[in-house]
Chains A and B, each alone.
Chain A
Amino acid sequence: SQQGEEDPQALSIQEGENATMNCSYKTSINNLQWYRQNSGRGLVHLILIRSNEREKHSGRLRVTLDTSKKSSSLLITASRAADTASYFCATYTGGGNKLTFGTGTQLKVEL
């Protein structure tokens, strides 16, 4: 089973709209990270939120973390066509040395 599961699996929106993706995880964490992947190749780290933080911002990104519900959300505001990508949440498991990724949300931003 996945440590992180995301929903929705796919999301299609118009440019300028906001996109929200959710992630649930199973075990206790030190931090939770979000990554973006374009065209099935290398991933790019977007943002890291520590377990003692509830909300974090970076540019048009806003991440929330609720450790009591073991869930996180990623909000992209004022989306652009260039935001079209797959987004993954990830947490360290396996004694803290193994980064386990969620199933991912495929975001499509249309002009």
Chain B
Amino acid sequence: AQSVAQPEDQVNVAEGNPLTVKCTYSVSGNPYLFWYVQYPNRGLQFLLKYITGDNLVKGSYGFEAEFNKSQTSFHLKKPSALVSDSALYFCAVRDPLNYGGSQGNLIFGKGTKLSVKP
């Protein structure tokens, strides 16, 4: 069965420092991976996705994520954090080999709260 884990409930970083939000996954085939961000009292917004190709994917707001097949990870990164990056971040996975019916739905992690302090 497909699954995704975000091992940290909260990540705290100082403004200007690099940030990493971790995500690991489990699928039977090659995964399709997504990151979403949720600002307070808002819906989830798409940040970036990995489908195929380069393992380093660049997305919105200066974020990037690195796909690591051997470690089954897709960690979200940003070289220099901003206070405005403070939000809830969700990783999601889909296994295209199981596409169809409920197996085709995105599976979301429980989210990681990122707090960036000035």
Does chain A bind chain B? no
A contact residues vs B (CB 8 Å cutoff): none
B contact residues vs A (CB 8 Å cutoff): none
